[in-house]
């Protein structure tokens, strides 16, 4: 008892999962962790106090199952997103990954395909394979951009059941125009998911894909509270779509999948959206500072509408990553040759990264 009795390869695992690796970014107790695109600013005290009060109220009835339809939370998301959305067009789950998993469970699965333009969010193929569907990787231009013509042509050739458009893209930060999204939708016969996890970091005045929802019953726009709302540990993601899509997702969700405590915390945070979003401007300032300094140091930062910067021109990414690690700064090697990615943190964290990078450069 208590000992390891078998190896993974000895178990009757599904054939399509054999040899696969689970998702996971490096974790290390370093002073400056800028590797997983978190919002490194703490939740403001006034917001935290309201969340705690809401949790205390929810705890009084935690012996009962939560609202299965998370009605108040859906109304809160609809109000936050705008565009005339109603709660009937909103869905939510434990992080945007579970939201995307629900979409794949409902519209992909065995014998079907999901498509994305690589490089893109690494969870898309993992979620696709986990639901028994086949992943198809499309291609981007050398600067990671997409044109409407290229995107539509690739979709027409592949005929996928689900398309993932990461807008702006992770891990590159690349913006995506509404023209590309519209072209992909017109070329597709399946569900088109626009993943706007980082939309709040786009330039002011840029229009969300939410504006395209009317008349497009196969279009889905997903969001997360992890980034702009500094809610990564709370695990809350959501989407907007036609009410018929929401009905489809009810077919695959687990009963009472959003706990009463999750609903209470997220609803309280949404009441303070303006306070939470003030952090976004601070993060964008540090993101742009990183890009400018990287250019001055001779690197090639890519345009970013997110809370991170992907930069090229790294002669030896492994050595640079290790050098920064030794200086107490953790960033991400995303597997793109001669590139590394860094999250825009607080002013102090950003300074620590830039100082450490300059120090590493001076030794190489």
Per-residue pLDDT for 5 more than 80?
A: no
- Stretch among 9-23, 172-186, 293-307, 328-342 having the lowest mean pLDDT: 9-23
Share of the chain above pLDDT 90, in %: 90
* pLDDT at 29 exceeding the cut of 80: yes
Residue 361: its pLDDT value, please?
A: 79
Q: What is the mean pLDDT of residues 325-337?
A: 96
* Per-residue b or e along 135-144, where b marks 16 or more CB atoms closer than 10 Å to that residue's CB: bbebebeeeb
The residue written with tokens 């009835």 in the block is: 61
pTM for this model (two decimals) = 0.95
pLDDT for position 363:
54
Q: In what order do the strands lie in the sheet containing 340-343?
A: 300-301, 308-312, 340-343
Q: pLDDT grade, residue 37 (50/70/90)? A: very high
DSSP label of 231: -
**DSSP notation for 68-110:** TT-HHHHHHHHHHH-TT--GGGEEEESSHHHHHHHHHHHH--T
State residue 328 phi and psi, 5-degree precision. 90, 20
Extract the tokens encoding 173: 């930060």
Query: Over the stretch 64-115, which tens digit does the pLDDT of each residue have?
Result: 999 999 999 999 999 999 999 999 999 999 999 999 999 999 999 999 999 9
Q: What is the pLDDT of residue 286?
A: 98
Which pLDDT value is given to residue 2? 60
- The reported pLDDT for the residue numbered 135 is 98
Mean local confidence (pLDDT), 21-39: 87
pLDDT at 7: 84
Domains and CATH numbers, the chain: 25-44+275-363 (3.90.1150.10), 45-271 (3.40.640.10)
Comparing CA positions, the residue from 192, 174, 173, 190 lying closest to residue 182 is 192
What is the pLDDT confidence band of residue 362, given thresholds at 50, 70 and 90? Answer: low
Q: What is the pLDDT of residue 23?
A: 77
Instruction: Record the tokens describing residue 31, joined without a space.
Output: 């002073």
φ/ψ of 7, rounded to 5, equals -100, 160
Section 179-199 average pLDDT: 98
273-299, pLDDT tens digit by residue?
999 988 999 999 999 999 999 999 999
Per-residue model confidence as pLDDT tens digits over 119-130: 999 999 999 999
Report the relative pairing of strands 162-166 and 191-195 from DSSP bridges: parallel
Query: Residue 3's pLDDT is what?
Result: 64
pLDDT given at position 314: 97
| Integer Cα distance of 244 and 363 in angstroms | 59
Q: What is the pLDDT of residue 249?
A: 98
DSSP β-bridge partners for residue 237: 93, 224
């Amino acid at each position: 008892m208590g000992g390891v009795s078998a190896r993974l390869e000895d178990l009757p695992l599904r054939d399509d999962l054999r040899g696969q690796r689970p998702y996971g970014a490096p974790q290390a107790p370093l002073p400056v962790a800028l590797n997983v695109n978190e919002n490194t600013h703490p939740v403001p005290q006034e917001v935290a106090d309201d969340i705690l009060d809401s949790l205390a109220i929810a705890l009084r009835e935690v012996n009962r199952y939560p609202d299965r339809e998370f009605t108040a939370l859906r109304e809160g998301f609809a109000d936050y997103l705008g565009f005339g959305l109603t709660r009937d067009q909103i869905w939510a789950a434990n992080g945007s990954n579970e939201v995307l998993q629900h979409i794949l469970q409902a519209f992909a699965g065995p014998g079907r395909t999901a498509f994305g333009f690589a490089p893109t969010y690494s969870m898309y193929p993992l979620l696709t394979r986990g639901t028994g569907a086949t992943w198809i990787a499309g291609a981007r231009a050398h600067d990671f951009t997409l044109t409407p013509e290229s995107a539509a042509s690739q979709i027409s050739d592949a005929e996928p059941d689900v398309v993932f458009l990461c807008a702006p893209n992770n891990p590159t930060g690349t913006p995506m125009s509404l023209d590309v999204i519209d072209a992909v939708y017109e070329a597709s016969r399946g569900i088109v998911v626009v993943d706007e996890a980082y939309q709040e970091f786009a330039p002011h005045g840029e229009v969300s894909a939410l504006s395209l929802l009317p008349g497009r019953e196969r279009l889905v726009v997903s969001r997360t509270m992890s980034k702009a709302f500094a809610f990564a540990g709370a695990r809350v993601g959501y989407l907007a779509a036609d009410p018929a899509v929401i009905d489809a997702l009810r077919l695959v969700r687990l009963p009472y999948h959003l706990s009463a405590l999750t609903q209470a915390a997220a609803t309280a945070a949404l009441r303070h959206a303006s306070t939470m979003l003030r952090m976004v401007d601070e993060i964008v300032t540090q993101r742009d500072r990183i890009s400018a300094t990287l250019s001055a140091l001779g690197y090639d930062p890519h345009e970013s509408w997110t809370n991170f910067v992907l930069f090229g021109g790294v002669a030896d990414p492994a050595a640079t990553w290790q050098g920064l690690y030794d200086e107490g700064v953790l960033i991400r090697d995303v597997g793109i040759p001669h590139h590394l990615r860094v999250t825009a943190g607080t002013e102090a964290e950003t300074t620590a990264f830039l100082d450490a990078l300059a120090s590493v450069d001076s030794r190489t």
